[in-house]
Structure 1
Amino acid sequence: MTDGGTDTGCLACDLSAGRAPLPGGTVLRTGGWVVEHCVGPFGAGTLVVKPVRHVLHVAGLTAGESGALGPLLQRVSAAVTEVMAPEQVYVCLWSHAGGVPGHIHFVVQPVGAADMTRFDAFGPALQVAMGRAGCFPDAAEVERVCDRLREALGPTGPADPTR
């Protein structure tokens, strides 16, 4: 069932619409995109970038949505880098729910040596290991990190190091 471009019963839509609890709240909303803290077990500072409307495939994005995506992912990755100081920031598409295409979202995850050592993994294997471990970040820590990320994103985003 669609509700103003959102699908009731879709966790991604429910989080954005306030129908499900969202630790840290909305970090950024810009045009057709929303940035929120990940509700999964990928650590504090892991953000989700997703279209506001319910979209199942990248091919289903409008020209405006797809045109804004690259710059937004770069901006969010820069903010995560500034706030979390990781060794690397993973950016990957997630889109399955129960084995069928679901609301697309890009996970922007800060990763450091401690994560790789703790889970004895990196890349996709690290995300699988973190998912299996099911260790969710503390809600108060998520709130603090989201406040810092909102500040880093600001109205224009993190400082551009090329300026």
Structure 2
Amino acid sequence: MNHVVGPMNLGTLIVSPRDHVVAIADLDDTAAAVLGPLLRDTARVVETLCRPEQTYVCMWSHGRDARKHLHIAVQPVTAEVRARYGGLRSEQLQARMLASGAEPDITEVGQFCERARELFRATTTSAEVPS
């Protein structure tokens, strides 16, 4: 994915279909069958790299006045993240993060992405090996 939804904490990954889709209900059978394992693998990568207390998986599709494009955020939430935002959780935490405009350090983002790519490659490779 080449665009950013908004400022979230380091380790947040976005899953989004390449085709223009605005709702999960609009996914075709093939895309729906791919989505579950992809979300699981994405959550595993986030959990492995960030060791969060919890990993949020949230769907967003809002544009200015209508649905725009399906985005599913896979977000690690650690005690440190919650403390930085006054102990907030769930949608209140995400709203505060987005409103703050604070973005992770670009160098740290690049390092995280490289480690995530390595884990995704390992997952893909192991999934292709017949048992």
TM-score, reference length from structure 1? 0.71
Partner AA of 2:118 in structure 1: E
Task: Please list every run of 5 or more consecutive structure 2 residues that lacks an aligned counterpart in the other structure.
Answer: 127-131
Q: Give 1:140 deviation, angstroms.
A: 1.2
Describe the superposition over 1:23-56 as per-residue Cα deviations: whole angstroms up to 9, x where unpaired: xxxxxxxxxxxxxxx5521111110001011111
Question: Which segment drifts farther, 119-128 or 147-156?
Answer: 147-156
Alignment pair present for 1:146 and 2:126: no
Q: Give 1:141 deviation, angstroms.
A: 1.0
Q: Give 1:104 deviation, angstroms.
A: 0.3
**What secondary structure sits across from 1:107 in the alignment?**
strand
Match of 1:60 among 3, 11, 26: 26
Following superposition, which runs of at least 4 residues in structure 1 exceed 3 angstroms of deviation?
Answer: none
Partner AA of 1:152 in structure 2: L
Task: Please list every run of 5 or more consecutive structure 1 residues that lacks an aligned counterpart in the other structure.
Answer: 1-11, 16-21, 23-37
Higher relative strand content: 1
TM-score, reference length from structure 2? 0.88
Higher relative helix content: 2
**What secondary structure sits across from 2:123 in the alignment?**
coil
The number of residues matched between the two structures is 126
Identity of aligned residues (%): 39
Q: Give 1:99 deviation, angstroms.
A: 3.4
Equivalent position of 1:9 in the other structure: none
CA RMSD across the alignment = 2.0
Describe the superposition over 1:96-124 as per-residue Cα deviations: whole angstroms up to 9, x where unpaired: 01131011010000111111111121111
Q: Give 1:155 deviation, angstroms.
A: 4.4
Partner AA of 1:79 in structure 2: V
Equivalent position of 1:3 in the other structure: none
Question: Which segment drifts farther, 51-60 or 73-82?
Answer: 51-60
Equivalent position of 2:96 in the other structure: 129
Superposition map of 1:36-47 within 5 A: 38-47=4-13
Partner AA of 1:125 in structure 2: Q
Equivalent position of 2:48 in the other structure: 82
Q: Which has the higher contact order (CA 8 A, sep 6+)?
A: 2
